[in-house]
Chain A
């Protein structure tokens, strides 16, 4: 239990002008889970890239079983028994399960022909051993993210991995799948495999980790047994200061109903959705992945069609057929996926910010650049967006800053109603709190906020009311005095009868 499987000692890494890692000492014991915590940019990924051989350290040494090793590239890492399950799984959708399992090491006969029979046989055996319900010839695109992730883990194990790095493994899988993943991790531990677990989700870290190392600004702040730590301590170490009042909820006077949605339906996705949001109110939407929350919001915003139902804005029935219609009616939506339908990566932060309300800056036959600059600048100051210049490409910013640019985009539309779909997904702890602060400021301006989130503590901390969705329907509406994780989860799992 106490013998060290892998150790990095005094590792340093600099990029031109920046010291990314300084004197990192870090050790993983055999058959344990070692969680690595830190804000984005703390050096977690640089360190993992060095371990995987994607970068070479300037100084320091990696030891496996206390023997010094050099990892020059990922192939060598694999040969040494180190594998990584990336956050964004890279896979070829058209490939079959068996091809994926044997990718890069397909068995061949003497003539160089692939021995497909053996591939099929062995793939079949792996799948049976793991109790996975798919066939070797099934294409990867028919599998869920969680299935593919599990395949990656199996692949690592069949490669005889002794150390498996998991980078945000739960960022896109459901609660149930998280349980399956954790069960698998326990099995791996029992087999003596060591796991380096990287996650922003502190609840998970505390559930699964044996030891926790906190990184900040490219240095190790602390390494402790998980049982000797608590959430607040770890977060305080990550951000380097104590965060009081995690959720800056303030009492705001609640006004008229700004948005009412009645009997909103789209076949197979959501049904009979009715709810309202008042000015000055933060209304939460909880539910499991696949409950139809994002689909509902996209349809309300006009990004996707709906079959029937009515949207009322300020009490008036309003036709919304496109996001353009919504924006005209002062309804805006921060999308769930910043990368897919949020940012325009190659364009400047300024253009990204002004995109939602071009009419404000391009009118009367000309683009009014100076006005655009000053208004975007003012908005960035308010949101405390950190960017080198207004002309910097948005892709150069951290996730938290990108999210704040997108919030600026919508605030520049001067909306009355804001739908925020997973506003804090994939951004680090410090930036999360800034986003909460901004949301509080937004409702203080007499706007209505609808917040969709999969993180219950955040909903409970910020919202006035929470609607819970289950299988495309609203299964409950809970008011702030009755908030609890249990109640919400029961509704989300469909364990409570719908109130009449």
Chain B
């Protein structure tokens, strides 16, 4: 069956929004299309996209992570201090990844094993990880990172290193979601966990894998974040989980589970990124920016819910039509 124009529009609506936004941005600000600005947007988006992937994997299977900002800061300051004392980028990377993974295994134990709602379990981690980051640093920023900043600020040819990292991660996440049994199980668990389990799917294992992957994203994001700031900031990245959640949700990931795509999440992140950028270029007050961002989340979800309820109304009609034939 071929898709009708209206169905095409609905299926690709998020990308249409992205393109339209891009055109509008380039019209209202002369700086928007400049190479340096676009590279800047890409660079700024890296941390957000990484976080959004983690949240996307979790939301598809019906969970989420509210501890992202804190774990990111913790992984970042650990990584920075390992680098400062050893001078080894490899060890710094391992420290960041391990921090992210360990924190998220703890999340997974509570969520997967003890069935604590993800909201609560990761809210606890949000407090604890932030506390540990502040305790570890004595509340002081770690300054002068030296060569560490390369991972956030360096370039390979014309492309920033963090952008290359994100492209690599995108390929991996896309592959995992679309070409592995783990990916398929995510959708099944999010759509109906008891049914997935009754079909032989090991839901607990998938939950662990998702949180561990989320931990890896957060670890990487932590390094890039600190490098971009040229400092280990134990108080940094507060509320970044919301950035990730917003991108995933604006990109069509359904909060009720079972639905979401990598491409949609990227589009969601870029929509947010372009908006932020153009508002900065136009000199919009940062407080006002916050109000606008808040409105976008609610509107995106409202759109999702409304279009879904329209669809389900159609479904009833299709059902009755099919039955009456």
* Chain A contacts to B: CB under 8 angstroms: 15-20, 39-43, 46, 217-218, 301, 303, 322-324, 326-327, 333, 335, 340-347, 351, 355-356, 358-359, 362, 365-367, 386, 388-389, 393, 395-398, 409
For residue B177, give the distance in angstroms from its CB to the closest CB of chain A.
10
In contact, A327 and B200 (Cβ under 8 angstroms):
yes
Within 8 A of A (CB), among B256-282: 256-259
Interface residue B167 (Cβ < 8 Å from any Cβ of A): no
Q: Is the CB of A326 within 8 A of B200?
A: yes
Find the A residue at minimum CB distance from B194: A341
Query: Is residue B291 contacting chain A, with contact meaning CB distance below 8 A?
Result: no
Query: In the complex, how many residues of chain B place their beta carbon closer than 8 angstroms to a beta carbon of chain A?
Result: 36
Task: Count contacts between A and B, CB distance < 8 Å.
Answer: 118
B288 within 8 A of partner (CB): no
Judge whether A346 and B198 touch: CB under 8 Å: no
Chain B residues at the A interface, C-beta cutoff of 8 Å: 1, 178-181, 184-185, 187-188, 191-192, 194-202, 254, 256-259, 312, 315-324
The interface centre, meaning the residue of B178, B192, B259, B315 with most chain A CB atoms within 10 A of its CB, is B192
User: Judging by beta carbons under 8 Å apart, are B324 and A18 in contact?
Assistant: yes
User: Contacting B196 at CB < 8 Å: which of A344, A393, A395, A397?
Assistant: A344
Known: A327-B200, A341-B198, A344-B192. A42 touches B323 (CB 8 A): yes
Q: Which residues of B contact A17 (CB under 8 A)?
A: 317, 321
Instruction: Please name the residue on chain A nearest to B198 by beta carbon.
Output: A341
- A340 and B195 contacting across the interface, CB-CB below 8 Å: yes
Residues of A contacting B181 with CB < 8 Å? 358-359, 362
User: Are A366 and B179 in contact, CB atoms less than 8 angstroms apart?
Assistant: yes
Report whether A16 and B199 are in contact in the complex, using a CB–CB cutoff of 8 Å: no
Distance of A335 Cα from B197 Cα, bound (Å): 11
Return chain A residues, CB-CB under 8 Å to B188.
344, 347, 351, 355
Known: A46-B320, A324-B200. A345 touches B192 (CB 8 A): yes
Q: Tell me whether A346 and B258 are in contact in the complex, defined as CB-CB below 8 angstroms, given that A218-B324, A341-B194, A397-B319 are known contacts.
A: yes
State whether B184 touches A362 (Cβ < 8 A).
yes
The contact of B179 among A218, A323, A367, A395, by CB within 8 Å, is A367
> Quick check: B187 and A344 within 8 Å, CB to CB?
yes
A356: chain B residues at CB < 8 Å are: 199-200
Residue of A nearest to B180 (CB): A362
Q: Which 7 pairs between the two chains have the least Cβ-Cβ distance?
A: A41-B323, A344-B191, A341-B194, A346-B258, A18-B321, A341-B198, A396-B315
Shortest distance from the beta carbon of A73 to any chain B beta carbon, whole Å: 18
Q: How far is the CA of A303 from the CA of B198 in the complex (A)?
A: 7
Give CA–CA (A88, B290) in the complex, Å.
43
CB of B101, distance to nearest CB on chain A (Å): 23
Given contacts A346-B258, A351-B188, 17 further A-B contacts (CB under 8 A): A16-B317, A217-B324, A301-B198, A324-B200, A327-B200, A341-B194, A342-B198, A344-B188, A346-B259, A347-B191, A355-B188, A355-B196, A355-B201, A358-B181, A367-B179, A367-B180, A398-B323
